[in-house]
């Protein structure tokens, strides 16, 4: 099985079976589960999932890997295509869990889009770059805290974390990795608008929020300052100072 990983696709194939038990525990796998896997690669995790759950939807962008995934299991349905462009909700409407070794170059947008794009997903267990894992549940006023932190924390709570050695991949990446698991709690009704506000707020994180929101065309500085005052914050506040729920309040005040 001599397959050369494609750097352009951010491929680092999972090749060590020893990490699979940790994934199964953090994903809280049950025999009746239907799982969505993105980026199955050579199918090491896919085969493990197929042995422990009822059904696996595996989404792979690299069509050259299809021969390595055909025999992953009778209960594995392979979907070839870009996970960021496919209608995953339509492909896997019965999936309740997303379990994957996510390609590093698309991990963050995939996770953010899955929050509202895959409303039936109840639990995520994903292998990501350690830096990304640290961002997901970072605290306000820290360097790691950013837009993805706010959006994930507004919808989910973390249920597990496990550092992962570089040696479980082929080729070994030049960065550390981690498994992070989180469960859906709720999703604010105005999530699409909140996503816009959060993205604009952190696009210029060194600027004050009124300046950032004006640059993004979401509000004038005066209107943004008034909205901040309405939630008990002054006009000099920067995005990194707000707690996730305050972004919901700010979005409502801006409206």
| Predicted confidence band of residue 101 (pLDDT cuts 50, 70, 90) | very high
Q: Is 66 exposed, middle or buried (0-12, 13-18, 19+ CB in 10 A)?
A: exposed
Q: Could you give the dihedral angle defined by the CA atoms of residues 58, 155, 113 and 201, in that order, rounded to the nearest 10 degrees?
A: -150
Q: Are 214 and 244 in contact (CB under 8 A)?
A: no
Q: Are 247 and 196 in contact (CB under 8 A)?
A: no
Is 171 or 188 the better-scoring residue by pLDDT? 188
| Predicted confidence band of residue 17 (pLDDT cuts 50, 70, 90) | confident
Is 36 or 173 the better-scoring residue by pLDDT? 36
Fold of the CATH domain 191-254 = Helicase, Ruva Protein; domain 3 (1.10.8)
- Using one digit for the tens of pLDDT, what is the confidence trace for 180-190? 999 999 999 89
pTM attached to this predicted model: 0.91
Distance between CA atoms of residues 228 and 223, nearest Å: 9
Q: Is the pLDDT of residue 83 over 90?
A: yes
Delimit the domains of the chain by residue range: 7-184, 191-254
Q: Is the pLDDT of residue 226 over 80?
A: yes
| Cβ-Cβ contacts under 8 Å for 71 (sequence gap 6 or more) | none
Helical packing angle, 191-203 and 244-254, nearest 10°: 100
* 3-state SS class at 6: coil
- Using one digit for the tens of pLDDT, what is the confidence trace for 135-159? 999 999 999 999 999 999 999 999 9
User: Which CATH number describes the domain made up of 7-184?
Assistant: 3.40.50.150
| Predicted confidence band of residue 169 (pLDDT cuts 50, 70, 90) | confident
Is 173 or 246 the better-scoring residue by pLDDT? 246
Which pLDDT score is estimated for 225? 98
Q: What is the 3-state secondary structure (H, E, C) of 156-211?
A: EEEEEEEEECHHHEECCCCCCEEEEEEEECCCCCCHHHHHHHHHHHHHCCCCCHHH
């Amino acid at each position: 099985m001599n397959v050369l990983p494609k750097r352009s696709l951010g491929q680092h194939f999972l090749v060590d079976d020893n990490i699979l038990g940790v994934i199964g525990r953090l994903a809280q796998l049950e025999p009746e589960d239907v799982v969505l896997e993105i980026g199955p690669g050579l199918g090491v995790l896919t085969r493990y999932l197929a042995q422990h759950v009822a059904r696996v939807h595996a989404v792979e962008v690299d069509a050259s890997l299809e021969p390595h995934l055909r025999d992953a299991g009778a209960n594995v349905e392979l979907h070839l295509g870009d996970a960021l462009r496919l209608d995953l909700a339509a492909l896997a409407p019965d999936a309740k869990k997303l379990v994957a070794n996510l390609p590093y170059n698309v991990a963050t947008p995939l996770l953010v889009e899955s929050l509202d794009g895959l409303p039936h997903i109840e639990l995520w267990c994903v292998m990501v770059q350690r830096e990304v894992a640290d961002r997901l549940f970072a605290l306000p006023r820290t360097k790691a805290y950013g837009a993805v932190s706010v959006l994930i924390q507004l919808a989910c709570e973390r249920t597990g974390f496990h550092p992962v050695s570089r040696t479980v991949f082929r080729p070994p990446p030049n960065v550390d990795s981690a498994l992070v698991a989180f469960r859906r709690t709720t999703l604010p009704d105005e999530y699409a608008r909140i996503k816009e506000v959060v993205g604009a707020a952190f696009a210029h994180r060194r600027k004050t929020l009124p300046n950032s929101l004006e640059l993004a065309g979401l509000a004038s500085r005066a209107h943004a300052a008034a909205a901040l005052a309405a939630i008990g914050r002054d006009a000099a506040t920067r995005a990194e100072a707000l707690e996730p729920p305050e972004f919901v309040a700010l979005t409502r005040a801006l409206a």
